């Protein structure tokens, strides 16, 4: 059919296949990185949408640390996103203005930031956002890690629901009136690109860090907690410490993304923007399930697919977008419980370096039992 037209592609495919695995990996990462870096120039109009995609990938990756690798389904991770966002905003404003005056409901202060003030505030704010979210993760962790299974899920949901109410009642940061963040002291495209690259860097950093982390003893330890926590504890793993570190890592990257995202949107408020529990908070789980939880690439693929589908339905199916999304979630949960990567692993195990011996797998259990008995008898 399209064989002739696609022949250069086949040649590329053949070339890629001919490379050794390490080289293939480098080509793959190189391509993604090149695409990511060039996107704001090639698809300039889509800069914002692609920046959100990187944030979505970060969401899915961080949720998977606990939800996929450690078997702790948190519904409250979005809290760290909002906490990072608010800490960053407070730092950005607090460095140069009285925050309470800045956020007054009648708009008391006329704001002007010099470029130097802006960038100092932003840089310090992002770092503080990440670290602050991490600190909160430790505090919340002490409370909720006593819980297991659905109790843990609901406990964390409580955190995500309480946080916006608390901030909404806190007049110092404007309560439900929210905060308009300082204006970027430069051109619009420059601003878009700055926040785009921050999102890109944080998503790549998360991926790289987790790739390394999962290859260490830490990865094995949290997998052990997922498989059997009592046994892991019995084997001498300090499970609480592992859980806490896992959650803090998720919180740190979520805090960074929240700090950047708040500035990208420009206006933050607690109920809808900083703590979107029923949208982003749920999306991060759906994306993991869709891509395949407990895998490194699953969240990335799931987030990419989910975000693309979402953007297309939102633009072309006005009024039906939530229905389309609901159908997508149901189909995923019913038919692809292992997600795309999980399904691929089953369908094409050889892609994952798992060798399947057709002869052995064709044997019935009875044959194997018989063979084993024979070999035992021969001894």
DSSP-derived letter for residue 174 is T
Q: Annotate 70-136 with DSSP letters as a single string.
A: I----S-THHHHHHHHHHHHHHHHHTTS-HHHHT-TT--------HHHHHHHHHHHHHHHHHHHHHH
Q: Which stretch binds other proteins (CB under 8 A): 121-129, 147-155, 183-191, 219-227?
A: 183-191
| 63, 299 Cβ separation under 8 angstroms | yes
The tokens of 138 are what? 């430790």
**What are the distances in angstroms from CA 177 to CA 39, 174, 259?**
35, 5, 18
- Reduced to 3 states (helix: H, G, I; strand: E, B; else coil), residue 238 is coil
Residue 308 is a binding residue for other proteins (CB under 8 A): yes
- Reduced to 3 states (helix: H, G, I; strand: E, B; else coil), residue 2 is coil
| 244, 252 Cβ separation under 8 angstroms | no
- Choosing from 21, 234, 236, 319, the residue that interacts with other proteins (CB under 8 A) is 319
Minimum CB–partner distance for residue 126 and other proteins (Å): 18
CA distance 143 to 148: 12
- Choosing from 19, 44, 241, 327, the residue that interacts with other proteins (CB under 8 A) is 44
Site string for other proteins, 136-175 (x = CB under 8 A): ----------------------------xx--xx----xx
Residue 42 is a binding residue for other proteins (CB under 8 A): no
Quote the radius of gyration of the chain (alpha carbons, Å): 24
Q: In terms of CB distance, is 212 or 267 closer to other proteins?
A: 267
CA distance 63 to 254: 9
Q: In terms of CB distance, is 179 or 250 closer to other proteins?
A: 179
- Choosing from 20, 22, 42, 45, the residue that interacts with other proteins (CB under 8 A) is 45
Residue 64 is a binding residue for other proteins (CB under 8 A): no
CA distance 340 to 87: 36
Q: Annotate 316-373 with DSSP letters as a single string.
A: HSTTTHHHHHHHHHHHHHHH-TTHHHHHHHHH-GGGGT----HHHHHS-HHHHHHHHH
Site string for other proteins, 185-224 (x = CB under 8 A): ---x--x---------------------------------
Interface residues for other proteins in 261-300 (CB under 8 A)? Answer: 264-267, 269, 271-273, 276, 279
Q: In terms of CB distance, is 180 or 223 closer to other proteins?
A: 180
Q: Which runs of consecutive H residues, i.e. helices, occur in 145-238?
A: 149-168, 188-214, 217-227, 229-234
Minimum CB–partner distance for residue 357 and other proteins (Å): 18
Minimum CB–partner distance for residue 271 and other proteins (Å): 5
- Choosing from 36, 67, 125, 178, the residue that interacts with other proteins (CB under 8 A) is 178
Residue 135 is a binding residue for other proteins (CB under 8 A): no
Minimum CB–partner distance for residue 36 and other proteins (Å): 15
CA distance 347 to 356: 11
Interface residues for other proteins in 78-117 (CB under 8 A)? Answer: 104-112
Minimum CB–partner distance for residue 105 and other proteins (Å): 4
Total number of residues binding other proteins (CB under 8 A)? 62
Contact footprint for other proteins (CB under 8 A)? 2, 6, 9-10, 12-14, 16-17, 44-49, 52, 104-112, 164-165, 168-169, 174-178, 180-181, 183-184, 188, 191, 264-267, 269, 271-273, 276, 279, 308, 311-312, 314-316, 318-319, 321-322, 348, 351
């Amino acid at each position: 059919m399209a064989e002739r037209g696609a022949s250069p592609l086949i040649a590329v495919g053949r070339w890629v296949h001919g490379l050794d695995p390490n080289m293939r990996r480098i080509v793959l990462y190189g391509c993604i990185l090149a695409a990511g870096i060039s996107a704001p120039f090639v698809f300039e109009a889509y800069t914002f949408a692609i920046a959100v995609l990187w944030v979505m990938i970060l969401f899915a990756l961080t949720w998977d640390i606990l939800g996929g690798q450690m078997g702790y389904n948190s519904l409250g991770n979005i809290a760290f996103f909002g906490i990072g966002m608010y800490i960053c905003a407070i730092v950005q404003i607090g460095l140069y203005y009285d925050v309470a005056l800045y956020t007054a409901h009648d708009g008391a202060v006329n704001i002007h930031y010099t470029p130097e003030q802006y960038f100092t505030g932003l840089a310090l704010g992002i770092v503080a956002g990440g670290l602050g979210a991490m600190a909160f993760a430790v505090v919340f962790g002490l409370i909720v890690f006593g819980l297991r299974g659905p109790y843990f899920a609901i406990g964390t949901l409580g955190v995500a629901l309480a946080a916006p109410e608390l901030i909404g009642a806190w007049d110092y940061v404007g309560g439900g009136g929210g905060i308009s963040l300082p204006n970027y002291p430069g051109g619009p495209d420059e601003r878009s690109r700055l926040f785009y690259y921050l999102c890109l860097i944080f998503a790549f950093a998360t991926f790289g860090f987790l790739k390394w982390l999962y290859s260490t003893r830490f990865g094995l330890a949290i997998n052990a907690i997922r498989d059997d926590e009592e046994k892991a504890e019995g084997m001498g793993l300090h499970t609480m410490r592992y859980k806490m570190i896992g959650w803090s890592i998720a919180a740190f990257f979520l805090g960074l993304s929240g700090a950047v995202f708040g500035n990208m949107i420009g206006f933050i408020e607690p109920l809808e923007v900083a703590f979107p529990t029923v949208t982003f908070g749920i999306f991060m789980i759906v994306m993991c399930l869709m891509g395949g939880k407990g895998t490194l690439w699953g969240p990335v693929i799931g987030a990419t697919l989910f975000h693309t589908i979402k953007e297309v339905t939102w633009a072309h199916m006005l009024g039906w977008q939530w229905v389309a999304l609901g159908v997508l979630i149901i189909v995923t949960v019913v038919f692809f419980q292992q997600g795309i990567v999980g399904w691929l692993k089953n369908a094409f195990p050889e892609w994952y370096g798992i060798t399947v011996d057709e002869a052995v797998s064709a044997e019935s259990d009875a044959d194997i039992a018989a063979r084993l008995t024979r070999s035992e008898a021969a001894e």
